Amino acid sequence: MAQHHHHQEPVCTHLDQIQSVTPSAQGCEECLKMGDTWVHLRMCHVCGHVGCCDSSKNTHATKHFHATQHAIMQSFQPGEDWGYCFVDQLMLDPSVFAGK
């Protein structure tokens, strides 16, 4: 029998990791060092590391999360300001970065 629980949005519990950051580079840090290319850029909102997205062959943004456990990133593409939590696998509203 179906139970009708009150619908609750999944909530990210890592917002306290968010810091005011300066982008570490204007491209993927590691790809620039390797002379490689990327598809899209993501910036870690804990330390400012700029890495490439999961559509890029080197997936440096995700590798950065696995290496550091920094959970929160924001798109670093021009005109994009959405965020993402790697732990909760949740898209984050840009308002979570307001005032940071």
Contacts with Zn ion, residue ranges (CB under 5 A)? 12, 14, 28, 30-31, 38, 44, 46-47, 49, 52, 58, 60, 68, 70, 85, 87-88
CB nearer to Zn ion: pick between 5 and 59: 59
If you ran DSSP here, which 8-state letter would residue 15 be given? G
Whose CA is closest to 17, among 75, 67, 62, 69?
A: 69
Residue burial 68-80, b: 16+ Cβ < 10 Å; e: rest? eebbbbbbbeeee
CB nearer to Zn ion: pick between 5 and 33: 33
CB of 81 to Zn ion, least distance (A): 18
